[in-house]
Amino acid sequence: MKKLISTVFILALIANISFGQNETKKFAFGVNAAVTDFFGPDNSTFYKSNEANFYPGPVTFTLAYNLIKPVNIATSMNFGRIDNYNHPLIDDFYWKADLGAQFRFMSLFLDDDHWFDPYLYANGGVFQVNNDVSPVINGGLGLNLWLNEYFAISGQTGYNYGFDLDDYLETTFGIKIRLGKGADRDGDGISDSKDACPDVFGLEQFNGCPDSDGDGIVDKDDACPNVAGIAEFNGCPDSDGDGIADKDDACPNEKGLKELNGCPDSDGDGIADKDDACPNEKGLKELNGCPDRDGDGIADKDDACPDKAGVAKLNGCPELKEEVKKQIEKEISFSAKNIQFDTGKSTIKAKSYPDLDNIVTIMKKYPHTKFSIDGYTDNTGNKESNLKLSDDRANAVKQYFINKGIAASRLIAKGHGDANPIASNRTAAGRAKNRRVEITIQK
């Protein structure tokens, strides 16, 4: 095309397909208007308004591919009609095809979703008009202003050098639309740019974040992501409704108190029921929540005399005075010396029963007193046999008392053989005294 062309202003519809500033949306579709000036490069009067001429018709299709993050490769096909406003000799159909690259330099410093997106471009191709064909090269500066993930206002301006036709300036402006879906690493249908949890499959209503337990609180904000809960407790449940989240509640299924980690205290003694041996009676911590009415340190439930201070060895009952003990032992001893057994056996003779019953009466009079039953023999025979016989006789007496209603826990029976004689074993009378059962109050 010769330089006889004065100045031509073209109103063009240009369809551009180019990289949309996102590595996962590699294509975009745009509609631009273009102004072309063949006159300005010669006289440096660029885009003078009185030389403008707008004529609809030219269209350009461009296909671009993102090679690497800042670089796009683009090929285009432009065709239409030039209306030469000042040169009636040229008024014809034209087309242009080119291939080039765009360098989006801001991508080196910003992420893929930046809205301000300038670029440099350079192309080479072929231009035909009036049956004349010429190679062309062009370059310049472009700018995309992304309004959102998909739409931008775009424009570019540059210089076109024609080897066999006039050089010209070209400026375009219009809109650009990204094509394709954004990256979706977790496959939940929500693009990573809009996904608050891009690496975990989630729900659209939660901006791509999951809610595993379906309680309406996303897992990343849910202290109990696998158990449905309430917002008040950061997604944790409160099964018993006591205002303490189950995860912090030592008794999650029983309504309780905060100061007892969610456990109830039925008797109000400050000891949780689960740790209270007497949950329905107000008691003492040192007695596992049980009361001690007489203050003897023995819980009422274990105290045989809960209203009288006593000692542990007597199950909480008070000890007898020494003079009383002596009187009891004296009365028992008077009857015990009459206890007799069949010779060489542990069978109690029937004539001993009245004396044994007297002893039972005394024992029942003092129901919290414990007794020792000690059996002895003389030195006739071997020691092993004597020891066994004395033990059997002591236990025979113990069993008699038990049969009469004395608690076994109050009685200890033991044989000692021929130990501790109270008389000489050299005489029959002495040996008879040594064959005995002694009953005393336990120390």
Q: Taking a C-beta distance cutoff of 8 angstroms, is the pair 28, 18 a contact?
A: yes
Q: Say if residue 163's pLDDT is above 50.
A: yes
User: What's the Cα-to-Cα distance from 404 to each of 42, 349, 363, 375, 415, rounded to whole Å?
Assistant: 139, 16, 11, 20, 22
Predicted confidence (pLDDT) per residue in 75-103, tens digit: 787 766 665 444 444 556 778 888 999 99
Q: Nearest-5° angle of CA 152, CA 156, CA 162?
A: 150
113: pLDDT strictly greater than 70:
no
* β-strand pairing of 91-103 with 411-415: unpaired
Backbone angles phi, psi at 79, to 5 degrees: -145, 155
What's at 272, amino acid-wise? A
Above 90 in pLDDT, residue 391?
yes
Predicted pLDDT at 16: 39
Q: Is the pLDDT of residue 51 over 70?
A: no
Q: Classify each residue of 366-397 as buried b or exposed e, where b means 16 or more C-beta atoms within 10 Å of its C-beta.
A: bebbbbbbbbbbbeeeeeeebbebbbbbbbbb
φ, ψ (nearest 5 deg) of residue 20: -95, 35
Q: Dihedral of CA 270/272/276/280: which sign?
A: positive
CATH code for residues 14-179: 2.40.160.20
Judge whether 218 and 232 are in contact, CB under 8 Å. no
Rounded CA-CA distance 159/171 in Å is 9
Are 305 and 368 spatial neighbours (Cβ–Cβ below 8 Å)?
yes
Give pTM, 2 decimals: 0.50
**Cβ atoms 269, 276 nearer than 8 A:** yes
Question: What are the two backbone dihedrals, phi and then psi, of residue 77, each rounded to the nearest 5 degrees?
Answer: -135, 120
Coil, helix or strand for 230? strand
Count of H-run helices and E-run strands, the chain: 5, 12
Residue 333: both structure tokens together: 């001893």
Give the pLDDT band of residue 39 (cuts 50, 70, 90).
Answer: low
- Write b or e for each residue in 98-134: b if 16 or more Cβ atoms lie within 10 A of its Cβ, otherwise e: bebbbebeebeeeebeeeebebebebebebbbeeeeb
Task: Kindly write down the DSSP assignment for every residue of 91-155, as one continuous string.
Answer: EEEEEEEEEEEEE-GGGGTS-TT-SEEEEEEEEEEEEEETTEEEEEEEEEEEEEEESSSSEEEEE
Give the residue-averaged pLDDT of 351-372: 95
Which residue would you say has higher pLDDT here, 186 or 18?
186
- Please name the residues in contact with 321: beta carbons below 8 A apart, sequence gap of 6 or more: none
Among 64, 81, 56, which Cα is nearest to 17's? 64
Tens digit of each residue's pLDDT (9 = 90 or more) over 415-440: 999 999 999 999 999 999 999 999 99
pLDDT in tens, 186-235: 888 888 778 889 989 999 899 899 999 999 999 999 999 999 999 999 99
Q: Which two tokens stand for residue 335?
A: 């009857």
Q: Does residue 23 carry a pLDDT above 70?
A: no
- From residue 162, how far is each of 52, 88, 268 by CA, in Å? 21, 21, 99
Token pair belonging to 375: 């059996």
Angstrom distance (rounded) from CA 73 to CA 75:
7
**Cβ-contact 241, 227 below 8 angstroms:** no
Nearest alpha carbon to residue 184 among 14, 22, 399, 376: 22
By percentage, how much of the chain surpasses pLDDT 70? 84
Q: Where are the domains of the chain?
A: 14-179, 282-317, 322-441
Query: Nearest-CA neighbor of 74 among 103, 104, 100?
Result: 100
Q: CB of 388 within 8 A of CB of 416?
A: no
Asked if 329 and 440 touch (Cβ cutoff 8 Å), the reply is yes
Return the CATH architecture of domain 322-441: 2-Layer Sandwich (3.30)
Confidence of residue 106 (pLDDT cuts 50, 70, 90): confident
